[in-house]
Amino acid sequence: MKQRIFVAGKLMAETESKLQALGAAFYTGDGKITEAELIQGVRFSDALICPLSSPVTAKVLESSKNLKVVANVGAGFDNIAVKRAKELGIAVTNTPEVSTEATAELTLGLILDVMRRISAGDRLLRERPEEFTGWAPTFFLGNGLAGKTLGIIGLGKIGQAVAERANAFGMKLIYSGHKPKEMAKKWNAKFVSEKELFETSDIVTIHASYSEELKHLINHETLKLMKKESFLINAARGPIVCEADLITALKRHEISGAALDVFEFEPKVSAELRQIEQVVLTPHIGNATIETRIKMGEIALDNVQAVLNGLDPLNSVY
């Protein structure tokens, strides 16, 4: 009997054409798929391919007697009830490492943007062009990267890719969390305590894998440790940062600025964050390159085909 695949969101055309050839069914609704729509979609399916925004709850997993694999299109998998999937014998896969280069590139872009005030400069020329009267020695000053200390929370694959790029800008590197000492020597990166990282960094960037223990790692207390001249970058997971505390710190000028690609209550973005001039905001585009998204779809499909052919998944999350 032909095995059925349900696709819970739009993918790149290259991946969709391959799935269409396999007879896959696609979610065609507007916006993010709901739990109820997922239940309907997987009821008779053998495989589910889903964006990491899909709420694959225990109820969704229990609604299908045939489901063998859930393939997340994304490196994360906190949208899936993994423990329940394991109990039910359903494989869960993700698309790790393929996001590394793209996310590191965006992180450096966010650092450059918030420190050199690139987006702010763009807004000025579009909205208040009369303020630009020509080059002047003290006009629209930002901060350079060379010689600044970058504190990396989590020196995993993405953290290392960020370190490689930051090193090329002449930045000093410190890190907490992972301890890949041999790799760190390459950039003269120094392992420090989390407290020291917050206290001494000019820029703090988050690259730790999300877990409940990391919720609100960035809060009133940790922000208080940071220098008033420092900046916070988050291209990891929104809930790592307590947005209310960050907004307070920014308004009180306890830190100089922030650049965020992810948000605590995503897809909702706080109106207060949007109103603060020294904040750069991007709509969760860390790995949003054409090349990366095509590869992510291919990996998800490869995982599904492996499981449906009786083989082990290529990228199991448990």
Instruction: Report yes or no on 313 lying in a domain.
Output: no
Q: Active site residue: 14, 87, 229, 266, which one?
A: 266
Does 126 qualify as catalytic in the annotation? no
Q: What is the reported pLDDT for 105?
A: 98
Question: Same domain, yes or no, for 299 and 277?
Answer: no
Instruction: Report yes or no on 72 lying in a domain.
Output: yes
What distances in angstroms separate CA 182 from CA 30, 114, 197, 208, one per listed residue?
A: 48, 31, 20, 19
Question: Same domain, yes or no, for 106 and 57?
Answer: no
pLDDT tens digits, one per residue of 1-48: 578 999 999 999 999 999 999 999 999 998 899 999 999 999 999 999
Full-model pTM? 0.91
Q: Active site residue: 62, 199, 284, 298, which one?
A: 284
Nearest to 225 by CA among 247, 193, 251: 193
Does 178 qualify as catalytic in the annotation? no
Question: Same domain, yes or no, for 300 and 163?
Answer: no
Residue type, 263: F
- pLDDT tens string for the chain (318 positions)? 578 999 999 999 999 999 999 999 999 998 899 999 999 999 999 999 999 889 999 999 999 999 999 999 998 898 999 999 999 999 999 998 899 999 999 999 999 999 999 999 999 999 999 999 999 999 999 999 999 999 999 999 999 999 999 999 999 999 998 777 777 888 999 999 999 999 999 999 999 988 888 999 999 999 999 999 999 999 999 999 999 999 999 999 999 999 999 999 999 999 999 999 999 999 999 999 999 999 999 999 999 999 999 999 999 999
Q: What's the CATH number where 298 sits?
A: 3.40.50.720
Question: Same domain, yes or no, for 193 and 137?
Answer: yes
Q: What is the reported pLDDT for 1?
A: 52
Question: Same domain, yes or no, for 68 and 83?
Answer: yes
Question: Same domain, yes or no, for 38 and 118?
Answer: no
Question: Same domain, yes or no, for 36 and 177?
Answer: no
Q: What is the reported pLDDT for 75?
A: 87
Question: Same domain, yes or no, for 153 and 24?
Answer: no
Does 254 qualify as catalytic in the annotation? no
Question: Same domain, yes or no, for 125 and 201?
Answer: yes
Nearest to 111 by CA among 168, 162, 186: 162
Strand 279-281 and strand 257-260: the pairing is parallel
Instruction: Report yes or no on 16 lying in a domain.
Output: yes
Contacts of 131 (CB under 8 A, 6+ apart): 124
Question: Same domain, yes or no, for 118 and 58?
Answer: no
Instruction: Report yes or no on 71 lying in a domain.
Output: yes
Instruction: Report yes or no on 318 lying in a domain.
Output: no
Q: Give the total number of structural domains in the chain.
A: 2
Q: Active site residue: 237, 243, 254, 293, which one?
A: 237
What distances in angstroms separate CA 194 from CA 136, 184, 239, 240, one per listed residue?
A: 40, 17, 18, 14
Beta bridge mates, 26:
7
Instruction: Report yes or no on 316 lying in a domain.
Output: no
Structural domain of residue 56, as residue ranges?
5-96+290-308
Question: Same domain, yes or no, for 19 and 136?
Answer: no
Residue 50 near residue 25 (C-beta atoms within 8 A): no
Question: Same domain, yes or no, for 136 and 81?
Answer: no
